[in-house]
Structure 1
C-alpha cells in the first residue's frame, strides 16, 4: 500500500468548492419550496443505521456498503440510499399519524466504489416518497412531479423511460430454466447490454420457443409504438392493464411528450415491484434520476404498506441544467485599521440592502491586486474617507 499524501482524500470522496456549493444550495432551496407546495413534508434520517435492519433491507449490494462497528459491537452502515431509512421511520412512527404520507428529502448517500470506477462514493440526492397509496394515480403523481420539477428548474430536453419490474421479471422467469439464468439476463438489462443478452439466451440452450420469446420481446419492447404490443407476452394481464391505466392518466395530464415506455427497463434496486422509471437529459453523461413502486419494502419494518417514490441526482442535475451568468454583486469594503468604525457602518448599510459584502482590513492582505479582482466593486475606507471603485 502506498503512503497517503497529506492532501489526498479517500477513494470516491470529493471536496465541494464554493461555486459548486452555491449551485447545489440553490437546487436544495428550490426543491424545498417546490415539493412543499405540492404537499410533501421534508424529513432527515441519520447518516448511520444498523446493518441488521436498514442495511439488510437496502437494495444496494452489500459490497457497496460502508460498514463500521460501534462501541457495543453492533455493525453500522452509512446511508446508502434514502428510501430504506425513510421506510423504517414511516413504519415505526409516521404511518400511525397519517395515510397516505408524502415525504421529501435532500440527503447525502454513500456507496463504496472500485478503484477504476471513477464514480463518487458520496453524493447528494433529492426526492420524494408517497407511502400508503396503491393507486395508479400515485404512480402518475411521482412521474408528473418529476416532469414539473425538471421543467421548473430549467431542464427542457429530457425523457422519462417507464417500465414495470413485475412484467419484466415474469417474462424472463417464464422462459429460463434456473434462477442463475434469470439473474444473468436481468443484470444484462440493468447494464443495457442487449448484445450480451442475445448471446446469453443463445448460450443457455433454451427451447426454441423460449429463445424466440425472449429475443422478440427485447426487440419489440425497446421500440414500442403502443404498449398493447406487450400484452401477447403475458399470461397474467393485471400488471399490463395497470400500465394501460397509467398511460391513460399521463395522456390526460399532457405528459406523453416526455414519456417513452420501455419494458426492458431494469434496475439494480431490487425492491421495485411494479412501475419503475429512469430519467435522461441532454448534457448529462448518466441518468439524472430514477424511481418506482416498492410495495414490499415496508413489510421489512412491520408495515405491509404500498409506496412509490423517486430520487434525483444533484450532480447530474447540475450537468443538465442550463448555465446562467453569475448575477450576484459582491462588494469589498477595504479599510485601514484606524477606520474600523466607519468600515463597520458602511458594511452594515450594504448588507441591510441585501448586497453581498466582505469587510477586509488592508493590513491582512499580501496580494491586494489579486484579491480585489474577486469583487464587483471595491470601497476603500482610509484616512481621507471612503472612495468607490
Structure 2
C-alpha cells in the first residue's frame, strides 16, 4: 500500500484512539461524581470501571470474529454505532437516577470501544511499512493521550459541581432538598454525553463515505480477512512472547485505570484538594504528561529498543507508586501525577511486541486476546476499592498498581523475547 492510499485511512483510524480515551478518562470524573449522586463507597463506585472494562472481555472475541468475517471497515462502523447508542442511554439513566442504568449505558459504550480497539490497533499497524509498525501505533496512541487530557478537564468543568457536602450536612437536609441535590448532580452528565453522541455520529458518517483498504496478508498463504470466521483458536498462545503480552496487558491496564480512577479521592486524601482542582490537575498535568510521554516515547524508540524503554519506564512507575504510598502532601501527590508520563507507552508497546512475528491472520486473533486483557481495568480498581474500604485509606490502596507495574517491568526485561 502506498503512503498516498493510506493517508486518509490513517487519519480517520487515528481519530478513533481519541474516542475511546474519552470513555476511559471520563471514568475518573464519573467515579467521584456518581459516588456523591448515589451515596456510594469506594468499592461500589469502582463498579463504573468494572462495567466499562468487563465489556472488553465479553465482546473482544465476538469483535475479532466479526472483523475476520466482515473486515476492518464494518467492524469500525458497528463499534461507532454501539458507542453512540451507549452515550445516548446515559441521558435517561440520569433522568431516572438509576445507578444500574448508568452501569448498563457505560457497558454499551465500552462494547463499541471494544470493537474500535480490536480493529484499530492491528489496522494501524498494517497501514504502512511493517518496520515502523510500533512507532506508527505509538503515534496513533498519542491521540489517545490527547483525549486523556481533554476528558478530565472538560468533565471536571461540566460534570463536577464542586459542591462537596459532608455526611452531617447531607443528614441535615430534608428529603425534598436531598432528592433535589442528588438529582441535580446526576443531571450534569446529560449535555456532555449528548455532545459525545453527536460527535460519534458525525465520525460514523465520515467512515461510511470513505474507502478503507483491508490490508495484505503476508507470504504464508493465510486466508482473506472476509473468509476466516471459522479459524478462531487458542493456537496463538504457542508464542510465549504473546502469552506474556496478554498477562502484562492485563496488569498494565489495571494499573492505569486504578491510578486514574481514584486520583481525585487520592488528591483529597493526601493534600486536601477539592474535586474540581483535582480534576484540573489530573487533566492539565498528569494527562498532559501522558500525552507528551506518548510523543516522546515514539521519538525515543528511534534510538532505544521498545522493550528496553518499556522496562525502564516500568521500573520508574514502581518507584513513583512506592513514593506515593509512603510519603504525604505534595510529594505524594506529584509522585502520582508523574506516573502517567511513564506508563504512556506501555499499552501500545506491549501490544506491538505481543503481535510481533505473527501472520496477518494470527494478528487478528491475537488482537482479540490482547483487547480481552483489558479486563484488568475491571478487576484491579475493584481490588483497590476493597483495600481502601478495608484499611480506610485510598493511599494504601495504591500498593495494588505498584505490584502491577512489576509485571510490566518483567515483560520489558524478559517476557517480550520471541520463542515458541
Normalised by the length of structure 1, the TM-score is: 0.24
The structure richer in strand per residue is 1
The structure richer in helix per residue is 2
Higher RCO (CA < 8 A, seq sep 6+): 2
